[in-house]
Structure 1
Amino acid sequence: MSYPGYPPSDGYPAFPGYPPTGQESVYPPAGQYTYPAVPGGYPPAGGGSYPAAPPSAGFPGAGYPAPGGYPGAPQAGGMPPYPGGAGFGVPPAGPGFGGYPQPPAQNYAGGGPAQIPGFPGGQAPSPMPGPPAAMVQGTQGTIRAAADFDAGRDAEILRKAMKGFGTDEQAIIDVVANRSNDQRQKIKAAFKTMYGKDLIKDLKSELSGNVEELILALFMPSTYYDAWSLRHAMKGAGTQESVLIEILCTRTNQEIREIVNCYKSEFGRDIEQDIRADTSGHFERLLISMCQGNRDENQTVDYQKAQEDAQRLYQAGEGRLGTDESCFNMVLASRSFPQLKATVEAYSRIANRDLLSSIDREFSGNVERGLKTIVQCALNRPAFFAERLYHSMKGAGTDDSTLIRIVVTRSEIDLVQIKQMFTQMYQKTLATMIASDTSGDYRRLLLAIVGQ
């Protein structure tokens, strides 16, 4: 796999401040893994993310975290866990999973209901069919391919914007923020054909700082950008573990395999060897599991299997002295995300606490954050990315590389839903926070990407 303009010898040079010292991708959005409509239960297929929790769940508005993030967890060292380490709106004791709907007791797919302790009425529904393939493939991006696209015309606009004294940054923003990644690759090729020059080098000579990093990220093929981000997270002294978690724990099987192949072809390195050299223990094993790209992607939910997995996880953690880490790794690394959501709901009834809370009690450090990321994405992926965006801008200073990476990588996938969740969780819009935390052309380009 080779990407024109990205030499394997050095690729893109490290951007200023990337990754930020001491701080710290693509499954379809959670709304596309919704279950069939059930009276009083799951949202209808094709809807947004999971239903908002009532105010009584412990949070204002829709029941998601109030400004300030998820209380009860340390704020340093990467992603803070969910409320009290317990997840979205989940009380620390008692059955149920807060604002999330309970698995219905009726049988969905025919056949007699299984008598299983832990389900309401002792009955578990038979495996439930997943959503239609068309719904799974749908996107909720803020950037879509331009209808009247002309690569040559756009290349000419960019050339004029950079020619002569000064740079017309607004003309550049108008082009790059309104073209899909595939269209940007065609603009790059047309530019070289028309002018015999490399567009990336010209842009680098005209731009600087965060706006340079953002525009160059937009012009990287998406797979290359993920591979590049992983390489720079492990390159040099120190490791940016949160970048590894964010990418490897949230991408589809196909995307992970493409990233692994790109990493090898563009940087001449084996990503598993780099992970082993930079991480250790259970965190290393979790990341190696993620690199295989072998997660079950069958969208059918088997509630009996969910009950069995929930019991297995309980016996591996809360139900014993010590922790069987390999059991958590096996279940969370291999089950489909809809299946994991059902497992989380079954676990809350068995353990009288939710799975995120148990992971908080049984694990620590990077492996804890990695396991939580998988569970959080199974419950509500847009909410996970909304939280990451919020903490990239919260407080003094801005984690610009995380802000850029998430806005760019989700812009054609689920940034619409991420924006909606951001507003519900923090009582302010993503655009408002970006506007107050950034400035100049960098601000204008970010706001154009998020659809403001």
Structure 2
Amino acid sequence: MSYPYPGGGYPGQGMPQPGFPNPNPPFPNAAPGYPQGPATMPMPGAPPSQALYGGPAGYDQMPAPPGGPGLPYSPQPPLGFQTMVDDAATVAMAATAFRGGAGSVAMPTPQPPGPAPYPSAGGGAPPYPVVGGGTSAPPYPQAPPPAGGSFRSAPPPTQPHPQMPSAPGSQRRPPPQAPTAPGGHRTAPAQGTPQSATSSTSQTRHKYGTLREHQPFDPHADGQTLRNAMRGVGTDEKAIIDIMAHRSSEQRQNIILQYKTMYGKDLIANLRSDCGGRFGQVIEYLCMTPARLDAYLIRNAIKGLGTDEKVLIEILSTRTNQELAEIRMAYNSDYNKNLEQDIIDDTSGHFQRLMVSLAQGNRSESTTVDMAQAQREAKELYDAGEKKWGTDESKFNAILVQRSPAQLRATFDEYSRLCKYTMEQSIKREMSGDLEKGMLAIVKSARDTPAYFAERLYKSMKGLGTDDDTLIRVVVTRCEVDMQLIKQAFQANYKQTLGRFIAGDTSGDYQKILLALIGGKD
């Protein structure tokens, strides 16, 4: 790279400075047309001498632009000190703005000759625009004013660097923040702690249940209590009942996890070995989630020789669409089998079709009633049954499985107006066997689900002996759902409290845990 001064130096080294003598002789080998001046470095930003703009034609002779003096360089000058300073200042200013004001640039600010490009009243640093409106001082210190007076003022006091807001498309993004809970407090990451919140589904599930969440809840202390209840000779059944019958399903799962974490043992296996009989059966059911328990009950109902159809009917006709979806997933996960295929393999005929239809979990859950549809479908059911010789079971299947409980109740009322029989009476007249039981379960559950389960409990205990499987299944699966309503329906229909009925048919720890789950005798 060549420079205007042969032998080295930067352009402008030969330029005299105002107010300074010229003690240096001219360069001996200066090229013609170049000025002779001192070799001292000029102050950055100092106004050049007017001698540069007069004299013979040459590099320093440029016509002055309108309204101002000429420039000391050509439109495309060679690389020189002033150009380097200008470029460095521009880069530093851009980098500072890009970083959002972080850091400072310790570099003098070059200024062009002539009047200040950013005049400010009373002197001072020119204002800089700030994102969002307003102005601010430059984000880096300025050079001190040169001697002899200048348009520059003293540098402003150091100010904190402004933070650039993160607008859409900005290069600078704020760090992610923890979610904020109502009230302005940040929520902690979800953990299996006593303070963990339950879902809205869980809160809805406990709305009419007799078994609700226990507060305060400490899974560590509960796990330790259960461990102590099973250590040594004998078992403290009361301590087990106090925990297992007074903790929600979510809390019991947390205890099981905490127990294995503390002791490296499976709580379910330990409880099974220490708790036998019907009492142990209740404890084992309580250790499962609702979906896994239903999947377990269905699996036991259809595996081996024969099928327990009443279990299939009870579960598939009373669970919500979401619950049925969870049951299908649990069944496949726990047994590596397809629920629908197992139902098909163990059932047949119209009953098989009814169970397969219910297992889809595709019932309307709307609470809106279409009276025109209710009247039309009541007529279709009447034509498919009482009006004709024989029965069109597929018509009953299509309507009873698809419609919401609210819509079915309206249809049943319209049916009673068309026919001298109720829907239940017509089903008993037109159907038989497991199909009849399945259709009746749908109708009764649609009319009044708590009353349906109250009837199931009453039949499990009336007369000689007790159907303990049905009693345990209904108590455990409904104690967190609607047991309060079931107790009300039981007393209204059978003139006795459910608790006293259970107390008369059971005994021992088995009786105690059942009564604890339903909230006592009264």
TM-score, L = length of structure 2: 0.60
Bigger relative contact order, structure 1 or 2 (CA pairs below 8 A, ≥6 apart): 1
1:68-107 counterparts in 2 under 5 A?
none
1:8-23 counterparts in 2 under 5 A?
none
- Which residue in 1 is equivalent to 2:95? none
Change (3 A) 1:259 1:438: same
Whole-Å separation in 2 of the counterparts to 1:285 and 1:345: 26
Amino acid at match of 2:350: H
Find the partner of 2:278 among 202, 207, 210: 210
Find the partner of 1:400 among 464, 468, 472: 468
Structure 1: 4+ residue segments shifted above 6 A: 133-138
Deviation at 1:395, TM superposition (A): 1.4
Find the partner of 1:287 among 333, 341, 355: 355
Find the partner of 1:243 among 282, 290, 311: 311
Higher helix share: 1
- Which residue in 1 is equivalent to 2:431? 363
Whole-Å separation in 2 of the counterparts to 1:250 and 1:136: 16
Q: Deviations over 1:12-45 (max 9, x none)?
A: xxxxxxxxxxxxxxxxxxxxxxxxxxxxxxxxxx
Whole-Å separation in 2 of the counterparts to 1:355 and 1:400: 30
Structure of larger gyration radius? 2
- Which residue in 2 is equivalent to 1:380? 448
Deviation at 1:398, TM superposition (A): 1.1
Whole-Å separation in 2 of the counterparts to 1:134 and 1:445: 22
Whole-Å separation in 2 of the counterparts to 1:390 and 1:176: 25
Q: Deviations over 1:392-420 (max 9, x none)?
A: 11111111111111001101110000011
Q: Which runs of no fewer than 5 residues in structure 1 stay unpaired?
A: 1-132
TM-score, L = length of structure 1: 0.69
- Which residue in 1 is equivalent to 2:481? 413
Q: Does 1:270 align with 2:343?
A: no
Q: Deviations over 1:133-152 (max 9, x none)?
A: 99987720001111200111
Q: Deviations over 1:332-366 (max 9, x none)?
A: 00000110011001100011211111101110000
Whole-Å separation in 2 of the counterparts to 1:438 and 1:364: 33
Q: Does 1:186 align with 2:250?
A: no
- Which residue in 1 is equivalent to 2:267? 199
Change (3 A) 1:340 1:281: same
Change (3 A) 1:392 1:158: same
Amino acid at match of 2:225: I
2:205–2:481 contact (8 Å) kept in structure 1: no
Identity across the alignment (%): 52
Q: Does 1:145 align with 2:213?
A: yes
- Which residue in 1 is equivalent to 2:296? 228
Deviation at 1:379, TM superposition (A): 0.8
Whole-Å separation in 1 of the counterparts to 2:322 and 2:466: 32
Whole-Å separation in 2 of the counterparts to 1:168 and 1:139: 31
Q: Deviations over 1:157-202 (max 9, x none)?
A: 1001001111100000000111000000000000000011100111
2:385–2:426 contact (8 Å) kept in structure 1: yes
Amino acid at match of 2:298: L
- Which residue in 2 is equivalent to 1:110? none
Whole-Å separation in 2 of the counterparts to 1:326 and 1:288: 13
Whole-Å separation in 1 of the counterparts to 2:448 and 2:262: 45
Cα RMSD for the two superposed structures:
1.5
Deviation at 1:258, TM superposition (A): 1.0
1:276-355 counterparts in 2 under 5 A?
276-355=344-423
Q: Deviations over 1:414-442 (max 9, x none)?
A: 00000111111111111111111111000
Q: Does 1:163 align with 2:244?
A: no
Amino acid at match of 1:151: P
Between 422-431 and 240-249, the greater mean CA deviation after superposition: 422-431
Q: Deviations over 1:359-401 (max 9, x none)?
A: 0111000011101111101111101000000111111111111
| Corresponding pairs, count | 320
